[in-house]
Amino acid sequence: MLAIIILVIAFLLDGILTNYLSFLPGDLTIFTPLLTLTALLIIYPLYRKKEKKYYLTVIIVGLLYDLFYTNLLFLNAILFFTCGLVIKVIYKYVDFSFIKSILLTILIITIYESLFALVIVIFNLVPMSLERLVYKISHSLLLNIIFADVCYLIIKFIPKKYKRINLN
């Protein structure tokens, strides 16, 4: 239940922040939201022994993200699923902690934005350069790291009787 609450909040914040922040190259905003993707990273420990349910959640959230925000049906579902696979592999070898949540957020955003740029280049949707990719990644990090840390702290300080995992 906590995972769904975090995902819904992240999903709604993505929509709200997208409407109020400008996203044209050259703008001064450093708060480009990818909160839904960050939430998928943070909630994985809540699905530790229910991986099929996690992947189903990731695909559904990706489809909803496509329907509500991007109008590119199945693109984000595939990209979120790919990031979900990477998240699973990462959590297999890394214990979750406050500092590691920052590093993992940076890694997942970089992977997502790189895959998205690759699709844009392959299908020649809009002009994409390495400079634009670095710009998108760098301008996505601050807000998403803050969100990841807040979610981590919320999960960490919930009483143990309400959660099934223990974060370091």
**Of 151, 135, 118, the residue nearest 38 (C-alpha):** 151
**pLDDT tens by residue, 53-96:** 999 999 999 999 999 988 888 999 999 999 999 999 998 888 87
Q: Is residue 51 part of a domain?
A: yes
Residue 102 lies in a domain: yes
Q: Is residue 94 in some structural domain?
A: yes
- Read off the pLDDT of residues 6-29 as tens digits, 9 standing for 90 and up: 999 999 999 888 777 665 555 546
- Confidence check: pLDDT of 38 > 90: yes
Measure the CA–CA gap between 152 and 138, rounded to whole angstroms. Answer: 21
pTM: 0.87
**DSSP states along 33-101:** --HHHHHHHHHGGGGTT-HHHHHHHHHHHHHHHIIIII--TTHHHHHHHHHHHHHHHHHHH----HHHH
**Token pair listed for 5:** 């609450």
Query: Does 6 reside within a domain?
Result: yes
Mean pLDDT to the nearest integer, 95-115? 91
Average pLDDT on 32-48 reads 89
123 domain residue, yes or no: no
Give the domain extent around 89.
2-17+36-110+141-162
163 phi and psi angles, rounded to 5 deg: -135, 160
pLDDT at 24: 56
Average pLDDT score over residue span 129-155: 90
Count of domains observed in the chain:
1
- Count, residues in the chain: 168
94-106 mean pLDDT: 88
